[in-house]
């Protein structure tokens, strides 16, 4: 079965795994999903990212992060730009997520990066998702 929006599928898998309090979640891999997962790990929203060699396709294993009370580190994930409606932001219109508490993940001409990195480099791009 083909997925029309693989990034939304990845975010939904993370959201569902956290609601079920799973330790990790496996997602079919792609370069963009790997870059998004690495940003989530670098920003402290997930513990780590592993690539699992599998047939017919490799998987990304995302180790989810919880606090002492088993509350997930990610409060919410929101897909912004969708295949049916792309949302772009110039370098001056990059959105702030919850006044800087959360992050926006952008696809720019210099790669996938957070809103803070894009502002620092002075580039805009497609707003993929919000995480807080």
pLDDT tens, position by position, 33-80:
999 999 999 999 999 999 999 889 999 999 999 999 999 999 999 999
Predicted confidence at residue 1, as pLDDT, reads: 64
Residue ranges of the chain assigned to CATH 3.30.1490.10: 75-129
Question: Residue 1 to residues 4, 11, 79: CA-CA distances in angstroms?
Answer: 10, 18, 21
pTM (2 d.p.)? 0.95
Q: What would the pLDDT profile of 1-39 be if each residue is shown by its tens digit? A: 678 999 999 999 999 999 999 999 999 999 999 999 999
- CATH number assigned to the domain covering 75-129: 3.30.1490.10
- CATH number assigned to the domain covering 4-62: 3.30.1370.30
Query: Would the pLDDT of 104 be above 80?
Result: yes
**Residues 15, 64: Cα–Cα separation, whole Å:** 10
**Residues 125, 41: Cα–Cα separation, whole Å:** 21
**Residues 23, 60: Cα–Cα separation, whole Å:** 14
Residue ranges of the chain assigned to CATH 3.30.1370.30: 4-62
């Amino acid at each position: 079965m083909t997925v029309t929006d693989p990034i939304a599928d990845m975010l939904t898998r993370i959201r569902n795994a956290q609601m079920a309090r799973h330790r990790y979640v496996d997602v079919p891999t792609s370069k963009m999903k790997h870059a998004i997962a690495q940003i989530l790990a670098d920003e402290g929203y997930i513990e780590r990212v592993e690539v699992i060699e599998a047939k017919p396709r490799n998987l990304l294993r995302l180790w989810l992060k919880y606090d002492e009370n088993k509350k997930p580190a990610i409060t919410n994930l929101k897909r912004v730009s969708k295949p049916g409606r792309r949302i772009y932001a110039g370098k001056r219109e990059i959105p702030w997520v919850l006044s800087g508490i959360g992050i926006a993940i952008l696809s720019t001409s210099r790669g996938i990066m957070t809103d803070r990195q894009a502002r620092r480099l002075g580039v805009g791009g497609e707003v993929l998702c919000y995480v807080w």
